[in-house]
Amino acid sequence: MMHWRWTTALLFFVLSWGLLAEPKLEKFFAQNCVKCHGPEKQKGKVRLDKPLDVLFAEEELLETIANVLETGDMPPEKAPQPKDEAVADVLQILEKRILAQHQDNPLKRLTRDEYTHTLHDLFGVNFDFSGLLPPDQVEHGFDKFGESHLMSPHQVMAYLKTARFVTERLLPDNKPETRHWDFNASHFHGSKNFATGGGGDYRDGDDYVLTGFRPYRSNLHFSIDPESHDQFVIPAFGVYRLEVKAHSGKSNEGEVIGINLGDGRHPTNFQMIRRIPMPHGSKGFTLQLTLKAGDQLAFTFDSARVPGRSLAKKPHNGPAMRFSHMKVTGPLVEKWPTHAMQVILPKPDMKPGELVDHLALLLTQRPLTMEDRAAFVEIATRRKKAGASVIAIARSVLIALLTSPHFIYKAESPELTDVELAHRLSFFLWNSVPDTSLLNAARSGALGKDPSAQVERMLKDPKAGRFIDDFTRQWLQRDKVDDFGPDVRVFKNVRRMTVDSMGREGRELFRHLLERSLSMEHFIDSDFVMANDRLARFYGLPAVKGDAFVPVKLPKGSERGGLVAQAGFLKLTSTDFATSPIHRGSWILKNLYNENIEPPADVVIKEPDIRGTTTIREAILKHQELESCARCHSKIDPLGFALEFYDPVGRKRPEYRHVEELPVQRDGTTFTKKIKFTKVPIESAMKLPDGREVRDLPTLKAALMADKERILKGIIGKLISYAHGREVTRADRPYIDAVFKSAAKQNDSLRAAIHAIIAHPEFGRK
């Protein structure tokens, strides 16, 4: 009741004040905006001479107007400029209007990752739904946004197919038989035996040897019959234990084995599911994998130095991975009935209504409405009358619930209930449903009064790794670092597993700051980097032992440290052979400042005349001359050009090395594709819109550090977007400011920021 009265009072005040403010707003638009956005001309298809009630109905337009006025992007530089006081008044009017009419967060459904983790936490079974559920649409950098969670007929059918897949495996009719298979070098096969024409693998006595990886996906797969090349096939869904004897040869460092699903005879279709670091001197490994019927396994030498080549032509003198024996055991059944079966059917003789109530509460933690409950009970009753077994009845009810909005969509009231608050917190930090401890805290009222104890417990739980991995994957686009190459003809000493390590560095920095309660300032600059053995070698740092990341102190004069100095970011924002200042600059604005710099969809951007330009800089400066491009590029380009002294794989360089692929040439009986290098000086100095010059990485970091408050608020905004499943707007500024101030009292700690986000009243609102 108090919340309703407060909201009504605020709305009355804003609307009353708005009536008084309308003439001031209309006058401002008429004097400063209507010339380009009025009856005669509508740049960007924006018209501001409409009645204010029409303009106020477009929240996105109000956001845009407020943003361009605040940053000084509008009116254009050449136009007469309004007084600062007038702009401040208009911004105040717009902000009050945006706050008053801010809409509730749209309905959100579970993402594919959340669906996967939820089923694991409820039933203790690992599922891979990548081939069953479609990938989630990304909006403004994240896949959690309710506005993108529309449900198409195709998705409905995908959820139904997935639910059937799940229930058949959670509730099998019979206990699966655990079997054992032993394989040695006589059972092993490689890609060189097939149409790929050779891939650097061969049998050597009691070992089968892999020497390369690319270009043929050289691999080891195995068959039950030594005389047959038919690949071994997993017979039934379940957990399988793999005991592999393997060691590296001619190597003085750790190596990496990849485990893939797919037919080894057609390795281009592999799905990599696990990478196994092999410390120097290791003799093998044992692990457990959840596999389904029909899966085929193949091993690759992922840390191989050179592309695979047929060894029939010349011997291989570099490092190799030697496999001698493998034992496969499964499906493993620790007890029968399984844990999942006992969770689903705690009693063998449950009545239809009892079964529905139990499963609904298990999956959703809230009772069904009477109408919905009756529908599910009817399903169970009909199946029972038809003579179905208890297992079959439970399958039918479980399928119905798993495909219902009660499970697929998140329940959120305008003011979250205590249980709904527990779910929001759990989906934020664990990407899954709450556990018993969190639910008990919610139901007792303790969570709503002070969530800090539960937040600390959850951050210390291994499941917090899901949040760290998923948030950094989306925020930093880590999964796209290895989208190309590197081309070995150009970057001869950059190994593919080094690139893999580049993609992990951002996650490990986030993890380190979170676990040690360190300052978010380290995202801008730091005197250390997170590195493993490969990345330490790549950066020229003191040696690190093993594949695990540890903090490494930077030597005096090093330019590394912070996100923009990471090789993964520098490679992500490049193409095969060239850097991209525009991609680098826009990434910084989007992901550190949290600025929305997407051009309006209806703006036609004319291509500039770049004839006569000889460098990237000249071409982009030509681009800036266009009025439609200048506003964004004046902010983007200086940030990107300051990083031009780092090449497409993140190494320091003194000059450009332009790469040109020449036409294919015939050399006797072979065809070769040669490349040509051209060296060009780097001109990187540019001025930011406020006049500050940036010319290299140190001056860029200095500029970013000067904007520390804006950037930390930008990062906080990203965390809030992820936690709430929506884009942050100007209406969220008080929320962001409060979190920033709270974290600032604890040295801008990332951990403190997350605590403050959750403790804020807005976290408990839809």
Average pLDDT, the chain: 86
The pLDDT, as a whole number, for residue 381 is 97
User: Distance (Å, rounded) from C-alpha 16 to C-alpha 417?
Assistant: 32
- What amino acid occupies position 251? S
Quote the strand ranges of 331-375, DSSP E: none
The pLDDT, as a whole number, for residue 36 is 79
Compute the 3-state secondary structure of the chain and give helix, strand, coil in percent, each to the nearest 5: 45, 15, 40
* Residues 306-316 as b or e (16 or more Cβ within 10 Å = b): bebbbbeeeeb
Give the domain range for residue 362.
108-175+345-409
Residues forming beta bridges with residue 681, ordered by sequence position: 655
Categorize the per-residue pLDDT at 573 as very low, low, confident or very high, splitting at 50, 70 and 90. Answer: very high
**One domain, residues 653 and 731:** no
The pLDDT, as a whole number, for residue 307 is 54
Residue 59 has pLDDT above 70, yes or no: no
In a domain, 473, yes or no: no
Torsion of CA 746, 751, 753, 756, to 10 degrees: -90
* Contact (Cβ atoms closer than 8 angstroms) between residue 360 and residue 406: yes
Residue 120 has pLDDT above 80, yes or no: yes
Pairing of strands 528-531, 550-553: antiparallel
User: Distance (Å, rounded) from C-alpha 394 to C-alpha 341?
Assistant: 10
In a domain, 202, yes or no: yes
The pLDDT, as a whole number, for residue 589 is 96
Which of 23-37, 392-406, 560-574 is least confident?
A: 23-37
Residue 258's nearest CA partner among 240, 239, 241, 275 is: 275
In a domain, 61, yes or no: yes
Categorize the per-residue pLDDT at 126 as very low, low, confident or very high, splitting at 50, 70 and 90. Answer: very high
Residue with structure tokens 């003011």? 415
Whole-model pTM: value is: 0.86
User: Distance (Å, rounded) from C-alpha 234 to C-alpha 225?
Assistant: 15
The pLDDT, as a whole number, for residue 191 is 75
Domain boundary among 299, 330, 361: 330
Q: How many domains does the chain have?
A: 6
The pLDDT, as a whole number, for residue 676 is 81
Supply the DSSP string of 11-78, one letter for each residue: HHHHHHHHHHHHHHHHHHHHHHTTTTBSSS-BGGG----S-HHHHHT-HHHHHHHHHHHHHT-SS-TT
**One domain, residues 200 and 268:** yes
Residue 566 has pLDDT above 50, yes or no: yes
User: Distance (Å, rounded) from C-alpha 405 to C-alpha 614?
Assistant: 58
User: Distance (Å, rounded) from C-alpha 37 to C-alpha 34?
Assistant: 5
Residue with structure tokens 């490679």? 571
Report CA-CA distances (Å) from 118 to 144, 431, 467, 538. Answer: 15, 8, 13, 39
Categorize the per-residue pLDDT at 614 as very low, low, confident or very high, splitting at 50, 70 and 90. Answer: low
Residue 759's nearest CA partner among 424, 289, 350, 443 is: 424
In a domain, 266, yes or no: yes
**One domain, residues 264 and 167:** no
Q: Work out the number of other CB atoms within 10 angstroms of the CB of residue 702.
A: 13
Residue 491's nearest CA partner among 411, 578, 421 is: 578
- Most confident of the ranges 333-337, 514-518, 610-614, 635-639: 514-518
DSSP 3-state assignment of 745? coil
Supply the DSSP string of 684-707, one letter for each residue: --EE-TTS-EE-SHHHHHHHHHHT
- Decide which of 343 and 310 is more confident: 343
User: Distance (Å, rounded) from C-alpha 560 to C-alpha 527?
Assistant: 8
* Contact (Cβ atoms closer than 8 angstroms) between residue 617 and residue 637: no
Residue 364 has pLDDT above 50, yes or no: yes
Domain boundary among 37, 71, 100: 100
Residues forming beta bridges with residue 260, ordered by sequence position: 272, 298
Residue 607 has pLDDT above 70, yes or no: no
Q: State the average pLDDT over residues 702-722.
A: 98
In a domain, 700, yes or no: no
Categorize the per-residue pLDDT at 76 as very low, low, confident or very high, splitting at 50, 70 and 90. Answer: confident
**One domain, residues 162 and 219:** no
Which of 69-83, 95-109, 597-611 is least confident?
A: 597-611
In a domain, 335, yes or no: no
**One domain, residues 637 and 550:** no
- Nearest-5° angle of CA 65, CA 70, CA 74? 60
Token pair of 535 as six digits? 């990345």
Q: Phi and psi at residue 697, in whole multiples of 5°?
A: -65, -45
In a domain, 633, yes or no: yes
Residues forming beta bridges with residue 289, ordered by sequence position: 240
**One domain, residues 95 and 116:** no
Residue 697 has pLDDT above 90, yes or no: yes
* Contact (Cβ atoms closer than 8 angstroms) between residue 484 and residue 575: yes
**One domain, residues 499 and 533:** yes
Residue 703 has pLDDT above 80, yes or no: yes
* Contact (Cβ atoms closer than 8 angstroms) between residue 98 and residue 63: yes
Categorize the per-residue pLDDT at 172 as very low, low, confident or very high, splitting at 50, 70 and 90. Answer: very high
Categorize the per-residue pLDDT at 20 as very low, low, confident or very high, splitting at 50, 70 and 90. Answer: very low
Q: 140-150, pLDDT tens digit by residue?
A: 889 999 888 88
Residue with structure tokens 């529309």? 150
Q: 207-242, pLDDT tens digit by residue?
A: 999 988 765 678 999 999 988 888 999 999 999 999
Categorize the per-residue pLDDT at 526 as very low, low, confident or very high, splitting at 50, 70 and 90. Answer: very high
In a domain, 584, yes or no: no
Q: State the average pLDDT over residues 535-541.
A: 96
User: Distance (Å, rounded) from C-alpha 261 to C-alpha 233?
Assistant: 10
- What amino acid occupies position 738? A
Q: Which letter does DSSP use for residue 602 in this model?
A: T
- Decide which of 268 and 428 is more confident: 428
User: Distance (Å, rounded) from C-alpha 626 to C-alpha 642?
Assistant: 22
Residue with structure tokens 């570099």? 318
Which of 118-122, 151-155, 503-507 is least confident?
A: 151-155
- Long-range pairs for 314-317: beta carbons < 8 A, 24 or more residues apart: 316/200, 316/211, 316/212, 317/250
Q: Work out the number of other CB atoms within 10 angstroms of the CB of residue 267.
A: 22
Domain boundary among 100, 134, 166: 100
Pairing of strands 201-204, 693-694: unpaired
* Residues 387-397 as b or e (16 or more Cβ within 10 Å = b): eeebbebbbbb
**One domain, residues 187 and 310:** yes
Q: 366-408, pLDDT tens digit by residue?
A: 889 999 999 999 999 999 999 999 999 999 999 999 999 999 9
Instruction: Report how far Cα 736 is from the mean position of its chain's Cα atoms.
Output: 22
Helix axes of 750-759 and 708-724: crossing angle, nearest 10 degrees: 50
**One domain, residues 278 and 185:** yes
- What amino acid occupies position 306? V
Residues forming beta bridges with residue 238, ordered by sequence position: 291
Q: State the average pLDDT over residues 286-291.
A: 97
Categorize the per-residue pLDDT at 491 as very low, low, confident or very high, splitting at 50, 70 and 90. Answer: confident
Categorize the per-residue pLDDT at 9 as very low, low, confident or very high, splitting at 50, 70 and 90. Answer: very low
**One domain, residues 69 and 56:** yes
The pLDDT, as a whole number, for residue 40 is 73
* Contact (Cβ atoms closer than 8 angstroms) between residue 104 and residue 414: yes
User: Distance (Å, rounded) from C-alpha 74 to C-alpha 420?
Assistant: 42
- What amino acid occupies position 163? A
**One domain, residues 683 and 760:** no
Quote the strand ranges of 472-621, DSSP E: 528-531, 550-553
Torsion of CA 159, 163, 165, 169, to 10 degrees: 160
Residue 353's nearest CA partner among 373, 383, 372, 370 is: 373
**One domain, residues 169 and 196:** no
The pLDDT, as a whole number, for residue 639 is 95
Residue 740 has pLDDT above 80, yes or no: yes
- Decide which of 137 and 117 is more confident: 117
